[in-house]
């Protein structure tokens, strides 16, 4: 009886560590995406970009909520020793500072790429025991749902802002 309980605890700890590792990655990507939206929001101030500014602001707030959810899940799973934004940004490939003005189409493409990175990290190719954990499904489900919706609206904006190819009269 004691051996089976001990085995269950060992499996739970291992699954929890795997889940925390994935949540760490998602948190790093989500923090970066949140900051990218904040930067994009400031770069699109002005009457001609009002619609984009509102979308970026809404998506920024959504990413802010995701960061909170992910941090709470990591804390619940005893991964709280690393819940500091600077630690997560150092682990990402894009830990450079956001500077300079960019064209709206470039901002939209960068945001779309960042969403794809988050979704790629949230959808590993194989399933393991850590992915069957309820906290995993809840936190990752929130990340996937939010990023799919935001990615879709960013893609719609990208299509509407890209220059149309000119056709020559026949």
Tell me the pTM. Answer: 0.73
Answer with the residue of higher pLDDT: 162 or 152: 152
Q: What's the CA gap between 118 and 11, in Å, rounded?
A: 27
Answer with the residue of higher pLDDT: 82 or 152: 152
* pLDDT exceeds 50 at position 4: no
How does the average pLDDT of the chain come out, rounded? Answer: 77
Give the CA distances from residue 119 to residues 13, 70, 144, in Å, rounded to whole numbers and listed in that order: 25, 14, 6
Neighbours of 168 (CB within 10 A): 4
Please report which confidence band the pLDDT of residue 76 belongs to, taking 50, 70 and 90 as the band edges.
Answer: confident
Please report which confidence band the pLDDT of residue 78 belongs to, taking 50, 70 and 90 as the band edges.
Answer: confident
Q: Does domain 2-159 have CATH number 1.20.1260.10?
A: yes
* pLDDT exceeds 60 at position 129: no
Which pLDDT score is estimated for 21?
Answer: 85
Q: Is 44 exposed, middle or buried (0-12, 13-18, 19+ CB in 10 A)?
A: buried
| Mean predicted confidence (pLDDT) in 55-77 | 93
Q: What's the CA gap between 113 and 123, in Å, rounded?
A: 15
Please report which confidence band the pLDDT of residue 138 belongs to, taking 50, 70 and 90 as the band edges.
Answer: confident
Which pLDDT score is estimated for 20?
Answer: 85
Q: At what angle do helices 104-122 and 134-161 cross, to 10 degrees?
A: 160
Q: What is the pLDDT of residues 27-49, one digit of tens each?
A: 999 999 999 999 998 888 778 88
Which pLDDT score is estimated for 7?
Answer: 43
Which pLDDT score is estimated for 52?
Answer: 92
- The domains of the chain are located at 2-159
Which pLDDT score is estimated for 135?
Answer: 46
Please report which confidence band the pLDDT of residue 83 belongs to, taking 50, 70 and 90 as the band edges.
Answer: low
Spatial neighbors of 121 by CB under 8 A, at least 6 apart, are: 22, 25, 26, 29
């Amino acid at each position: 009886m004691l051996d089976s309980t001990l085995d269950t605890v060992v499996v739970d700890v291992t699954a929890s560590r795997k889940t925390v590792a994935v949540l760490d990655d998602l948190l790093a990507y989500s923090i970066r995406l949140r900051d990218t939206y904040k930067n994009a929001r400031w770069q699109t101030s002005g009457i001609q970009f009002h619609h984009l500014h509102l979308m970026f602001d809404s998506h920024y707030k959504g990413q802010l909520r995701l960061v909170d959810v992910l941090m709470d899940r990591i804390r619940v799973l005893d991964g709280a020793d690393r819940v500091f934004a600077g630690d997560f940004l150092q682990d990402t490939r894009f830990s450079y500072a956001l500077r300079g003005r960019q064209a709206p189409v470039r901002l939209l493409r960068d945001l779309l790429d960042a969403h794809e990175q988050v979704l790629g990290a949230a959808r590993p190719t194989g399933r393991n025991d850590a992915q069957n954990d309820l906290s995993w499904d809840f936190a990752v489900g929130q990340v996937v749902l939010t990023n799919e919706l935001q990615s879709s609206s960013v893609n719609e904006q990208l299509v509407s802002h890209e220059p149309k190819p000119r056709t020559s009269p026949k």
